[in-house]
Amino acid sequence: MSFDLAVLAMAGSADHRQACARYERCRSASHDEGASEPGIDSFCRELRTWFPDRPSFSDDTPWADTPPRVGSDHVIMRLRYGTAGDLAAERIGDLAWHHGLVLFDPQFGEAFFPTPDGWQGPVDCGGRAACALRVKST
């Protein structure tokens, strides 16, 4: 079993609806790529030092699928349930906050926004299904 997490490069004034919309757009085949966001590049470099996403893997790898899906404004990761995945999720949150990236949990449709004092959130957009419905109505 596995779960997904995403980090999204978004403007400081972004809200939960925009985070849901960005995640849905990043998952789609019609995602436009532009210049890579510096926060995304730095996040990926640091993440790979903690959790390599290329073979050969140790038995305690957190990855359920590799490599993570990286775009110019997002990283979508599939993690294994269990201790390794839990530890990786915590580290992913720390790195996302450090780089000013939004942390998005698609299982629950929750967005966490970085602030100088920590995370604002979770901000619930009504679950993943409701999030997708809102995106389509925008």
Instruction: List, for residues 1-15, the tens digit of each pLDDT value.
Output: 899 999 999 977 788
The pLDDT value recorded for residue 67 is: 87
CA angle 17, 2, 5 (to 5 degrees): 30
The pLDDT score that the predictor gives to residue 137 is 33
Q: What pTM was computed for the model? A: 0.83
Separation CA 60–CA 83 (nearest Å):
8
Please state whether the peptide bond connecting residue 67 to the residue before it is cis, i.e. omega within 30 degrees of 0.
yes
Q: Please give the residue that has the higher pLDDT: either 42 or 15.
A: 42
Among the listed ranges 74-83, 88-97, 123-132, which one has the minimum average pLDDT value? 123-132
**Mean pLDDT of the residues in the chain:** 83
